A and B are shown apart, each in its own frame.
Chain A
Amino acid sequence: MSDLVSSPTQSASLTVALIGNPNTGKSTLFNALSGGQARVGNFPGVTVEKKVGAYQFENREITLVDLPGTYSLSPRSADEMVSVDVLLGRQPGAPAPDAVVCIVDSSNLERNLYLFSQLRDLNLPTVLVLNMWDTTTSRGVTIDVEKLQERLGVKVVTTSAHRKSGIEAVSHAVLQALEETVQPSPRLFPAEFYDEVEKLSKWLEDRGEEQVHFFLLERMLLDVRGASEDAAGNAIAPELKEYLDEARLRLTAAGCRIPAVETKLRYNWIRERLDGVLVRSQEDSKLSSSDRIDKFLTHRFWGILVFTLVMFLIFQAIYTWSGPFMEMVEGLQGGVSDFVQGLMPPGMFRSLVIDGIIAGVGSVIVFLPQIIMLFAFIAIMEDCGYMARAAFLMDKLMTRIGLSGKSFLPLMSSFACAIPGVMATRVIENRRDRMITMLIAPLMSCSARLPVYVLMIYAFIPATMLLGWVNLQGIVLFAMYSLGALVAIPIAWILRKTFFKGETPPFVMELPPYKWPSPGIVFNRVYDRSKAFVVRAGSLIFSVTVVVWALGYFPGDHARQESLSVEINSIDAEVEENSEKLAALTSEYNQVSAVLIQESYLGRMGKAIEPVVKPLGWDWRIGIGAIASFPAREVIIATLGTIFSLGSELEDGDPGLSNALMKATWPDGSPLITVPVALSIMVFFALCAQCGATLMVIRRETNSWRWPIFTFTYMTLLAYVASFLTYQIGTAIGI
């Protein structure tokens, strides 16, 4: 360190860790400091996101490591241990920090300083950032920064990160903190405690664990069943647990009741530091006006009404308003495809570019409108404080299926599209609730299932009126939409009893005061999420599309199809006399295409699985459709169109395909699709995981292949069994 200080003009790299409570504006400060440039990944083996930014300040290269928002540094799981490991320089893949920036909400200083108080025990150069300074001062809270700095023994700076105010001072304070010697952390605990720390250190040393950081020793003693116990080598783990239990008994006997002693002493210390430093005006007007808003927004009638309207608006936005934008993406994709078609001669390479690459890119971009809309709403709701109230309102209802109020929005959004829904599970901090929500989200009937339902219902379900006014078609559509949600309830229960056992996670949630959302924060959140989707899930979604294209293209001989394509394009469709010839060529082209797909690897797979799908009432053609629609459910329409020689460019609800399906027969002449078969297909698509994009997003969010594979397996089995029962029972009772 001394080398660096003696030559300040020389550019030397520094690592700074950024930590703070949730909802303190940490990401906003991160973006403001690093200029919005960040490398995002995952720490190996855990679901914790690793976000690293780099920037220059006064000739110094600063690497900023963002740590997940947390209320304390008492790790209870491997995920929570990551922050401690990063801070101690024990985390593989992350450099040891030279300094820590602790950001706090200055309007809620007392609670926020708890984390800071723990952080001080690391004895790292630390800067305390009092964020949201503008709102705090406008609330009539005054904080004597000079005095606070003196009492806490660290640099204190004030910022309003969303207005980019005070940002330079943060970097400046970091450099200053590095030059000064770190004041030793305050010794809050009684002497007996520090004696035990010493003893533990010796005990570990005797067993070959040398130089264990003071902070870790402290955590081992204080955190009953905490993750720090696992920080020592595995060989001594059981012995260590036993030792710690005894040490805690000794401490309790000496008057240090674990774990209560820590919170008690730290909060006492905080209150002493703040005495005479923080002064609240007689009446905190903002807080009481926030309480008045709360009375209305959590009211049993008005609150529910507003909530329903907000949710309706969000659903409407991702389900309907995103439509034109998605059509624009599809239109653009069509335009680019046509352009390329004009440039390139027909052949394998053109097919790869158009049906593989352009379609692959399109299949990623097409989800952006929904993602942007959902995350805009989430960002606004989070920033104005309503998000926590939404969870507060829905919690009781969601506990009935073993989840918390925070799962409501991701699950509801999944009715429009599971991709933003799965991404929205980030609002759930608890790992168990988040995982269960993510794994059942794809069961919600998304908009991509609708074309399948529409095709089957209008072709095969009679429009009978029940009780004179309810259309049977409507009932079937409603049943399909409810099916996934109903099935999700027992699935969530099973997941809770198997993979995610353990006590019910606490629902201890901060309810921040209401405020106007900041456009800058909303924009940044939406931008971050969209970018994360395109960069991190996009490549996987793209690959799936290209792989399925290749399976559908090879190994057939496309010479005839290509020459027909050339011929069709050369005919001037405007000329009346050509129309008959054009129709004949198109029909031949479609027939050739049908044969090609049947003979492709995909077609062979479809034929090979016919014995498997026959109990569902399907033939190989529907089997091919099911396999080909792995990247996305709606692809089944285009695939069936190709297989039934109608061409692949069918509009939704094209009567041609319905007619073809109605006329389709088994080799013995009996009709292929009866009412039970139509129902069986719909049930299958309602429950199956035929959405590569969702699976890839799950892969990205969980940082593991295990969960997308698990999701695909359980949903496919579920879909198979359900559609088997539908077909068999339906046939048996003769509907």
Chain B
Amino acid sequence: MGNENQPRTTLADLKEVGSRGCILDVNGDDAVAIRLMEMGLTEDEEIEVIGFAPLGDPIEYSIRGYRISLRSTEAARVSIRSI
């Protein structure tokens, strides 16, 4: 994905409620990656931060018209372009 030297922006970098990103890629082909893709986190989809759990993790997102919660380790698997 793009320039190797440039640090990748991931979903976990969205730290504000209401901030949005456009998904570029889900990293890997393991169970976590596949589950994320199956839940609709696919290329070109928009995703928005709805809220954080009291200890900052997990995080609630909005995608494809529904709400999903991910841990920050899982969110870090999703490369995004912030919008």
A210 to B56, CA, bound (A): 53
Is the CB–CB distance between A510 and B32 below 8 Å? no
A238 within 8 A of B: no
A215 within 8 A of B: no
Within 8 A of B (CB), among A359-382: none
Does more than half of chain B's interface fall in helix, strand or loop, or is it mixed?
mixed
A451 within 8 A of B: no
Given contacts A110-B65, A280-B65, A263 and B42 within 8 Å (CB-CB) = yes
A275 within 8 A of B: no
B30 partner, pick from A280, A294, A503, beta carbons under 8 A = A503
A90 within 8 A of B: no
- What does the 1/0 interface line of B39-56 toward A look like (CB < 8 Å)? 110110100001111111
Is the CB–CB distance between B69 and A507 below 8 Å? yes
Is the CB–CB distance between B60 and A393 below 8 Å? no
The segment from A59-67, A296-304, A587-595, A644-652 that touches chain B is A296-304
Is the CB–CB distance between A507 and B71 below 8 Å? yes
What distance in Å separates the Cβ of B62 from its nearest Cβ neighbour in chain A? Answer: 8
Is the CB–CB distance between A111 and B64 below 8 Å? yes
Is the CB–CB distance between B31 and A503 below 8 Å? yes
A399 to B33, CA, bound (A): 19
B67 closest partner in A (C-beta): A511
Is the CB–CB distance between A260 and B31 below 8 Å? no
Complex contacts, A224 vs chain B, CB 8 Å: 29, 34
B36 within 8 A of A: yes
Is the CB–CB distance between B39 and A264 below 8 Å? no
Is the CB–CB distance between A71 and B70 below 8 Å? no
Is the CB–CB distance between A110 and B40 below 8 Å? yes
A262 to B43, CA, bound (A): 12
Is the CB–CB distance between B53 and A71 below 8 Å? no
Is the CB–CB distance between B54 and A111 below 8 Å? no
Complex contacts, B29 vs chain A, CB 8 Å: 224, 258-259
Is the CB–CB distance between A511 and B55 below 8 Å? no
- What does the 1/0 interface line of B64-83 toward A look like (CB < 8 Å)? 11111111011000000000
Is the CB–CB distance between A396 and B26 below 8 Å? no
A258 closest partner in B (C-beta): B29
Is the CB–CB distance between B54 and A304 below 8 Å? yes
B54 partner, pick from A303, A506, A509, A510, beta carbons under 8 A = A303
Is the CB–CB distance between B54 and A508 below 8 Å? no
Is the CB–CB distance between A294 and B31 below 8 Å? no
A405 closest partner in B (C-beta): B58
Given contacts A71-B35, A74-B38, A511-B60, A393 and B74 within 8 Å (CB-CB) = no
B12 within 8 A of A: no
Complex contacts, B43 vs chain A, CB 8 Å: 260, 264
Is the CB–CB distance between B66 and A111 below 8 Å? yes
B26 partner, pick from A108, A114, A260, beta carbons under 8 A = A260
B37 within 8 A of A: yes
Is the CB–CB distance between B57 and A508 below 8 Å? no
Given contacts A395-B57, A396-B53, A511-B69, A71 and B39 within 8 Å (CB-CB) = yes
A258 to B33, CA, bound (A): 11
A663 within 8 A of B: no
A214 within 8 A of B: no
A716 within 8 A of B: no
What distance in Å separates the Cβ of A208 from its nearest Cβ neighbour in chain B? Answer: 30
Complex contacts, A267 vs chain B, CB 8 Å: 40, 42, 45
Complex contacts, B36 vs chain A, CB 8 Å: 506, 508
Within 8 A of B (CB), among A242-265: 258-260, 262-264
The count of chain B contact residues (Cβ–Cβ below 8 Å) is: 37
What distance in Å separates the Cβ of B79 from its nearest Cβ neighbour in chain A? Answer: 12
A291 within 8 A of B: yes
Given contacts A111-B39, A111-B40, A295-B51, A395 and B58 within 8 Å (CB-CB) = yes
Complex contacts, B71 vs chain A, CB 8 Å: 395, 399, 507
Is the CB–CB distance between A392 and B53 below 8 Å? yes
Is the CB–CB distance between B74 and A298 below 8 Å? no
A674 to B82, CA, bound (A): 69
B17 closest partner in A (C-beta): A295
What distance in Å separates the Cβ of A475 from its nearest Cβ neighbour in chain B? Answer: 30
A335 within 8 A of B: no
A76 within 8 A of B: yes
Is the CB–CB distance between B38 and A114 below 8 Å? yes
What distance in Å separates the Cβ of B70 from its nearest Cβ neighbour in chain A? Answer: 6
A224 to B35, CA, bound (A): 13
Complex contacts, B31 vs chain A, CB 8 Å: 76, 503, 505-506
A303 to B52, CA, bound (A): 11
Complex contacts, A262 vs chain B, CB 8 Å: 37
What distance in Å separates the Cβ of B66 from its nearest Cβ neighbour in chain A? Answer: 5
Complex contacts, A506 vs chain B, CB 8 Å: 31-32, 35-36, 74
A717 within 8 A of B: no
B40 partner, pick from A76, A114, A399, beta carbons under 8 A = A114
A513 partner, pick from B56, B67, B69, beta carbons under 8 A = B67
B57 partner, pick from A223, A258, A295, A396, beta carbons under 8 A = A396
Complex contacts, B64 vs chain A, CB 8 Å: 110-111
Is the CB–CB distance between A298 and B60 below 8 Å? yes
What distance in Å separates the Cβ of A109 from its nearest Cβ neighbour in chain B? Answer: 8
Given contacts A300-B54, A393-B53, A507-B74, A259 and B33 within 8 Å (CB-CB) = yes
A452 to B57, CA, bound (A): 40
What distance in Å separates the Cβ of B49 from its nearest Cβ neighbour in chain A? Answer: 11
Complex contacts, A259 vs chain B, CB 8 Å: 29, 33-34, 37
A307 closest partner in B (C-beta): B54
Is the CB–CB distance between B58 and A294 below 8 Å? no
A400 to B43, CA, bound (A): 32
A91 within 8 A of B: no
A388 within 8 A of B: yes
- What does the 1/0 interface line of A400-430 toward B look like (CB < 8 Å)? 0000010000000000000000000000000
A36 to B3, CA, bound (A): 59
Is the CB–CB distance between A393 and B54 below 8 Å? yes
A56 within 8 A of B: no
Is the CB–CB distance between B53 and A294 below 8 Å? no
Complex contacts, B30 vs chain A, CB 8 Å: 503
A72 within 8 A of B: yes
Is the CB–CB distance between A72 and B38 below 8 Å? yes
A547 within 8 A of B: no
Interface centre among A76, A388, A393, A509 (most CB of B within 10 A): A509
What distance in Å separates the Cβ of A665 from its nearest Cβ neighbour in chain B? Answer: 55
Complex contacts, A264 vs chain B, CB 8 Å: 37, 42-43
A309 within 8 A of B: no
What distance in Å separates the Cβ of A198 from its nearest Cβ neighbour in chain B? Answer: 24
Sample 12 A-B pairs with CB under 8 A, ordered by A number: A71-B38, A71-B39, A111-B64, A224-B29, A260-B42, A262-B37, A291-B50, A396-B54, A397-B55, A503-B32, A506-B31, A509-B69
Apart from A260-B42, A264-B43, A291-B50: 8 A-B pairs, beta carbons within 8 A = A259-B29, A260-B25, A395-B53, A396-B54, A503-B30, A507-B70, A511-B60, A511-B69
Q: Which 5 residue pairs of A and B lie closest in terms of their CB atoms, listed nearest first?
A: A263-B37, A300-B54, A396-B55, A511-B67, A506-B32
